Amino acid sequence: MMGSDFSNQYVDSWLSLIREHLYSNPCVEDIFVNIEGGDVDVWVVIPERDLTILDQIVEKEGELFEMLVSGESPPFLVDFHIIYRRGRKIEELAPTKAIRLPR
């Protein structure tokens, strides 16, 4: 999964930043991350589609984007995705290669 030259400490620090920022919203049920080379995908799981919650999450994602990917040549690119659980088991929805970030 980690095909990059990032140090573990560096990766741990920005994963912690992602975890803290996104889990600060009590509606976020789970966060999954996949790292391949210089690409990072982050999936945020919420119970249902709710525009108020989506706006809050998008604002947090924007803050994270500014912190992690700012500058002319960022060390990696981040894509954020939203998953609506809608009563389904998380095992049915979680991306296969991704790791779950604990609360």
Q: From its phi and psi, is residue 37 left (phi > 0), alpha (psi between -120 and 50) or beta?
A: left
Mean pLDDT, residues 8-31: 87
pLDDT at 1 over 80: no
| CATH code reported for the domain at 8-101 | 3.30.70
DSSP-derived secondary structure letter, 1: -
Domain positions in the chain: 8-101
Please report, as a single letter, which amino acid is at residue 52.
T
Average pLDDT over residues 12-16: 83
User: Looking at the whole model, is its pTM more than 0.85?
Assistant: no
Q: Average the pLDDT over 49-75 and give the result.
A: 85
If DSSP codes are grouped into helix, strand and coil, which group holds residue 17? Answer: helix
Mean pLDDT of 11-31: 91
Average pLDDT value for the chain: 85
Output the pLDDT for position 11. 64
